[in-house]
Amino acid sequence: MTRMTMIEAIRSAMDVAMERDDNVVVFGEDVGYFGGVFRCTAGLQQKFGRQRCFDAPISESGIIGAAVGMAAYGLRPCVEIQFADYIYPGYDQLVSEASRIRYRSAGDFTTPLTVRMPTGGGIFGGQTHSQSPETLFAHVAGLKTVIPSNPHDAKGLLIAAIEDDDPVIFLEPKRLYNGPFDGHHDRPVTPWKKHDLGEVPDGHYTVPLGKAAIMREGGDVTVLTYGTMVHVALAAAAETGVDAEIIDLRTLLPLDFEAIEASVRKTGRCVVVNEATKTCGFAAELMAVVMEGCFHHLEAPVIRVTGWDTPYPHAHEWDYFPGPKRVGAALKRVMEA
Amino acid sequence: MPPVDVEALHIHDLAYSVIRVLNDKGEAVGPWAGQLSDEALVEGLRHMMTVRAFDARMLMAQRQGKTSFYMQALGEEAVACAFRMALRPGDMNFSTYRQQGLLIAGGYPLVTMMNQIYSNAKDPMKGRQLPVMYSSKKDGYFTISGNLATQFIQAVGWAMASAIKGDDKVAAGWIGEGSTAENDFHSALVFASTYKPPVILNVVNNQWAISTFQGIARGNAATFASRGLGFGIPALRVDGNDYLAVYAVAKWAISRARMNLGPTLIEFITYRAGAHSTSDDPSGYRPKDESSGWPLGDPVERLKKHLTLRGAWSEERHAQAKGEIESLVVQAQKEAESHGTLHNGPHAPAGTMFEDVFSEPPIHLIRQRQEAGI
Ligand SMILES: Cc1ncc(C[n+]2csc(CCOP(=O)(O)OP(=O)(O)O)c2C)c(N)n1
């Protein structure tokens, strides 16, 4: 066990995966020599050489398209998109290609590739360094979508993603890279090195895709969330005193129906939280899943807390970000119903 | 200097060589020389010095926590400043984040730029955009996107519209050499070659794209200028640290466009002397002394030397100008800070966040704004 930041945990995952399997290659913009703008790939080129970790031209469609070709050959590329906000030029390669190659060739060709990208806000990054586009991936048949909330899970999930035989989108909440940000932007964040979830096993382990984690057990209400909002929800529960069961979904697709249904059936109440815009956000899918699976157990309408349906603003970041106050208000409201 | 109606295939050599006016001694020589008066050159020098002083102040303001982010144009000021002087009102720039010189040389108020950088109450973009993502239609400056290369093809579209409407406005697309790898760069060349609209396609080759050397975007074979040749687009490669050369080539390309002779691709060779932005430290990826060894020198120093040689400038006048410019910038900064800074405010009212998503807010945004209580 070593205490690590989420950046170090992600780096360690790639290091382990590259050591175990020569077919794992890592590339992206500024990823090789420099080691990535967030330093997630620092040292990998020095260790594994320029054939296995290298800089890509600034072309997201090129990065994903090349990864598809490599994966079809039999490699396991793990590529970085510098910010999730920059995936769109590569989106066609994901939606029309990577996601369907197994299906359209009836399993003749496959594309085991992982696309890592920092996601989410909270860093005053304005509209092009703050987006949460997870739904745009989860909506596509044939892509798996993963989003960890802490270093331990980040490493285990990333190794599982790289070893998975299908394309996996791996979203890294950048506001969590250095510590569990709970939405209280005016308070210092505890660094991961002083946090239990910063304990990361050395070497190889996986956190299986498709398995949620209960981050806080509770009896009053189930909170379904993921990424940065896990920590916001934990803060909201602590501050309101509502005995919430907080579930970190970890993987959005495949979704852990069992964990969701067991918890909501137990509590009878549910709040869903995502940082992304509201309309057609992943929270909407979660509400539908709860309605389908738990309708007769519900004692109150499900409530969602999300970002607003505007581009992500710069100066008004904290008016936009669904912080612990809004989540706390939802917890109280669902208890009153 | 080739005739403006030249065919691309007759000037292939200009895509592989470097057009210069100022030689190493500071003299203006060759076919592209002799286009600017002493007054125009002094004005150009002042513009570049203003950009540099502005950048230095704003960099410091960011370090002091007055805003979140900043990007300088250190070392490449001549490109935007000289290019701007060859444009006319009504023309449109589709700029990247590193052509603040277009605004400054165009006389755009420094205070307004700073208001944007501080996201303060007088920010014309109402605090929505990251610092340096300016926008001003009346100044021929299209709203900057944080997404690279997207605007290069938009410049082509704007120029196509100008052609459809039969007016003589021209568009200038801007892109960093690293971003030429994006699909949108190639789309721009295809559309420009198919429709031949009045557009100038500017590639600013400052050697670095964050940590990656220009070779990553092009391999080691061809020049960025030569990308235009396969599309039949006249392409020129220019010393981007030579104010006179930048101006002369810009003028040539813009008059081609103005006369409806079609697009031109220009590669400006320059050097990003500073960090990419306030988020990186170049000592992690390039030699510390690379900047001082850059063979094309510093654009401010080179123009200063040339003007001095012409008898139109001196150390004293330079020092005086520097002092004047610095106090102008400091004054502007004081005024801008009186309207607020990022973390201390004031900002545009928070409710404005919900405006301009659409021409009229639809019902869902009205409801969300009510829920937000702002
Ligand atoms: C589509 C997209 N991909 C990646 C980025 C991240 N990014 C911002 S600036 C930059 C480097 C750009 O280099 P270059 O085009 O050479 O311009 P320069 O910064 O040198 O002026 C990168 C990769 C982005 N903003 N947009």
- Distance from C-alpha of B171 to C-alpha of B149, rounded to nearest angstrom: 15
Three-class secondary structure of residue B28 per DSSP: strand
Q: What is the mean pLDDT of residues A56-61?
A: 98
Residue B154's pLDDT is 98
CB proximity B121 to A under 8 Å? no
Residue contact B147–A319, C-beta within 8 A: no
Residue of B210, B272, B280 to mutate, ligand 1, most atoms within 8 A of C-beta:
B210
Q: What is the mean pLDDT of residues A237-253?
A: 98
- Total residue count of chain A as it appears in this document: 337
Tell me the pLDDT of chain B averaged across its residues: 97
Q: What is the mean pLDDT of residues B74-93?
A: 98
Contact by Cβ (8 Å): B68, A124: yes
Ligand 1 first shell, C-beta below 6 A: A 29, 58, 60, 82, 86, 89; B 98, 146-148, 176-179, 206, 208-210, 272, 276
Residues B170-227 pLDDT 10s: 999 999 999 999 999 999 999 999 999 999 999 999 999 999 999 999 988 799 999 9
Residues A150-160 pLDDT 10s: 999 999 999 99
Residues A170-211 pLDDT 10s: 999 999 999 999 999 999 999 999 999 999 999 999 999 999
Question: Predicted ipTM?
Answer: 0.96
What is the distance of C-alpha B265 from the center of its chain? 15
Residue A154's pLDDT is 98
Largest CA distance in chain A: 60
Residues 6 or more apart whose CB falls under 8 angstroms from that of B22 comprise B28, B29, B239, B242, B243, B244, B245, B302, B303, B306
- The DSSP call for residue B202 is E
Residue contact A55–B212, C-beta within 8 A: yes
Residues A217-229 pLDDT 10s: 999 999 999 999 9
Q: What is the mean pLDDT of residues A258-263?
A: 98
- Distance from C-alpha of B289 to C-alpha of B269, rounded to nearest angstrom: 19
pTM for the predicted model, two decimal places: 0.97
Residues of A in contact with B357 (CB under 8 A): 309-311
Residue B178's pLDDT is 98
Ligand 1 atom with the smallest distance to the CA of A88 is 1
Residue B153 CA, ligand 1 centroid: distance in Å: 16
Q: What is the mean pLDDT of residues A233-258?
A: 98
Residues B103-156 pLDDT 10s: 999 999 999 999 999 999 999 999 999 999 999 999 999 999 999 999 999 999
DSSP string for B47-114: HHHHHHHHHHHHHHHHHTTSSS-----TT-HHHHHHHHHT--TT-EEE--TT-HHHHHHTT--HHHHH
Tell me the pLDDT of chain A averaged across its residues: 98
Residue carrying the six token digits 């926008």: B135
* CA-nearest residue, atom 13 of ligand 1: B209
- Distance from C-alpha of A263 to C-alpha of A259, rounded to nearest angstrom: 6
Residues of A in contact with B133 (CB under 8 A): 126
Residue contact B357–A57, C-beta within 8 A: no
Task: Map out the domains of chain B with their CATH numbers.
Answer: 8-343 (3.40.50.970), 349-374 (no CATH)
Take residue A56 and report the two structure tokens written for it.
């890509």
- Distance from C-alpha of A27 to C-alpha of A41, rounded to nearest angstrom: 9
Residue B221's pLDDT is 78
Q: Quick check: A74 pLDDT over 90?
A: yes
- Total residue count of chain B as it appears in this document: 374
Residue B220's pLDDT is 81
Share of chain B above pLDDT 70, in %: 100
**Residue A19: its H or E element:** helix A6-20
Residue B210 CA, ligand 1 centroid: distance in Å: 7
Residues of A in contact with B280 (CB under 8 A): 37
Task: State which amino acid sits at residue A26.
Answer: V
Contact by Cβ (8 Å): A263, A232: no
List the single best residue of A131, A316, A327 to mutate versus B (max B Cβ within 10 A).
A316
- Distance from C-alpha of B201 to C-alpha of A131, rounded to nearest angstrom: 30
Residue A34 CA, ligand 1 centroid: distance in Å: 15
Residue A337's pLDDT is 87
DSSP bridge partners of B92: B171
**Cβ neighbours of B23 (radius 10 Å):** 14
User: Dihedral of CA A31/A32/A34/A40: which sign?
Assistant: positive
Residues 6 or more apart whose CB falls under 8 angstroms from that of A147 comprise A119, A134, A170, A171, A172, A173, A226, A227, A249, A250, A251, A252
Give the active site residues of A: 129
A209-229 exposure pattern, b = at least 16 Cβ within 10 A, e = fewer: bbbbbebbebebbbbbbbbbb
Measured CA to CA in angstroms, residue A5 lies from A119, A120, A198, B305 at distances of: 16, 17, 6, 51
Contact by Cβ (8 Å): B85, B44: yes
Residues of B in contact with A278 (CB under 8 A): 364, 368
- Distance from C-alpha of A113 to C-alpha of A26, rounded to nearest angstrom: 10
Task: Map out the domains of chain A with their CATH numbers.
Answer: 2-200 (3.40.50.970), 213-336 (3.40.50.920)
Residue contact A126–B280, C-beta within 8 A: no
How far apart are the CA of A126 and the nearest CA of chain B, in angstroms? 5
Share of chain A above pLDDT 90, in %: 100
